[in-house]
Amino acid sequence: SVAAVAASLTLLPGQANAAKYGGFGAGSPEVIDPKDAIIDEEILKSSSVQKGIAAVRGYKQSVADMKATLSADTQADIGPKI
């Protein structure tokens, strides 16, 4: 039926294509060595960046805690930690 065809075209994913706008998104990125990074110390010290870093560290600790809990008991309920 027409409805089934329309639903399949809507619900089944197709191929994704990345957009390229001028130089942005075009070409192949190079592998960057973190030692060569230029760090803007002023921005790094800003409260918003520091809050973001603290949040990432908190997420990392939460994942480590869940991993440790599941290593000790593979049936542990980690729902409250999520």
Handedness of CA 17, 23, 27, 32 (dihedral sign): negative
Specify the pLDDT at position 80: 84
What number of other Cβ atoms are within 10 A of residue 66's Cβ?
14
Q: How far apart are CA 39 and CA 55, in angstroms?
A: 20
**Which tens digits make up the pLDDT trace of 5-63?**
666 656 666 666 666 665 555 555 676 778 888 889 999 999 999 999 999 999 999 99
**Which tens digits make up the pLDDT trace of 57-80?**
999 999 999 999 999 999 999 888
Looking at the whole model, is its pTM more than 0.75? no
Contact 65, 81 (CB under 8 A): yes
Specify the pLDDT at position 26: 56
Specify the pLDDT at position 38: 86
Tokens matching residue 81? 């930690």
